[in-house]
Amino acid sequence: MTAAQRAGLREALVAGYRLLHQGRPAVEAVEATIRVLEASGLFNAGVGARLQLDGARRMDAALMDGHGLRAGAVAAIQQVRHPITAARLVMDETAHVLLVGEPATRFARHFRLERQRSPTRAQWKASRAAAEIRQARGSFQRTLRLYDAMRSGRAGKLGTVGAVALDREGSVAAGASTGGIALMLPGRVGDTPLIGSGIYADDETGAVSMTGWGESIMRMAVAKEICNRLAAGVTPSTAARLVLEKLIRRTDGAAGALVLSPNGRFAIRHTTPRMAAGYWGGRGEPVIADRFA
């Protein structure tokens, strides 16, 4: 983790906690936290989101309020600075849960969400996806390289941002925002906007936000699986450990989880060597690290 990323995480934790301290709902704190990370350009979300193989930046985000099981999400949205706020608007302003593609982008425009420009030709040329394509010769070879990379898990680099929070009323919320994985086919959607896979929140069990290789997380509906274990009385740490072990065993996947129960117990666990993350309850300094148990 760079010093700038550490500072970005700190700013995000402070922004979220400030709202909780003022008595605002957990879902607002989660949105505010993720907005700081999206705006920073230092993570794979919002301004820093990766490009797909056609040079487009398509982003996914989701937000869930454990009070009433309300949820909103967007997938493959373009040209917005804060996909998490688009997800919030889907939750608050529509009777739906998930909007995708160009209609999701138009929805964000309708609500006058802050825009970000499409990647320039220079940005595309400098991207890793473009470098991979340049190295390959011919479309068949390119396709093989792409799938080799995906199969070997190189496409599953971390960088998705997420947050979970517990408010004074005892409600939990979870959110996540991402630019996806490296070497994505145009139109690929990962776990992040899928409720139950990338995030889940239920005041009766807890809140979970995932990062990692979406194709493995989706196949196990990991966020809901962790919540199911919390419902069975398992602690956040054990629930995360058991489900991540299963993820490796059954899907050869890679992921990190933020898990918070309504009684305030929480865990940060990852199967990857590192996961930049932090937590703060308002006392002392926020704890930020790139390796957790």
> By rule CB under 6 A, what string of x and - marks binding of each residue 155-174 to ligand GLY?
-----x--------------
The reply to whether 160 belongs to the active site is: yes
Single out the residue of 25, 72, 119, 180 in contact with ligand GLY (rule: CB under 6 A). Answer: 180
Counting contacts by CB under 6 A, is residue 181 touching ligand GLY? yes
Counting contacts by CB under 6 A, is residue 191 touching ligand GLY? yes
Of 33, 85, 105, 160, the active-site residue reads 160
Instruction: Compare residues 52 and 85 and give the one whose CB is closer to ligand GLY.
Output: 52
Angle at 142 (CA atoms; ends 139, 147), nearest 5 degrees? 130
Interaction with ligand GLY in 202-241: which residues (CB under 6 A)?
211-214
Is residue 120 packed enough to be buried (19+ CB in 10 Å), middle (13-18) or exposed (0-12)?
exposed
Return the C-alpha torsion angle 81, 291, 71, 239, nearest 10. Answer: 170
Instruction: Compare residues 160 and 271 and give the one whose CB is closer to ligand GLY.
Output: 160
Residues forming beta bridges with residue 276, ordered by sequence position: none
Instruction: Compare residues 171 and 216 and give the one whose CB is closer to ligand GLY.
Output: 216
Question: What angle separates helix 26-40 from helix 83-93, to the nearest 10 degrees?
Answer: 150
The helix or strand, by DSSP H or E, that contains position 249, with its residue range, turns out to be helix 236-251
The two structure tokens encoding residue 267: 């865990």
Counting contacts by CB under 6 A, is residue 190 touching ligand GLY? yes
Q: How far is the CB of 44 from ligand GLY (least distance, A)?
A: 8
**Strands of the sheet with 59-65, listed across from one edge:** 98-100, 70-77, 59-65, 172-178, 161-166
Footprint on this chain of ligand GLY (rule: CB under 6 A): 160, 178, 180-181, 190-192, 211-214
Which residues form the catalytic set?
Answer: 160
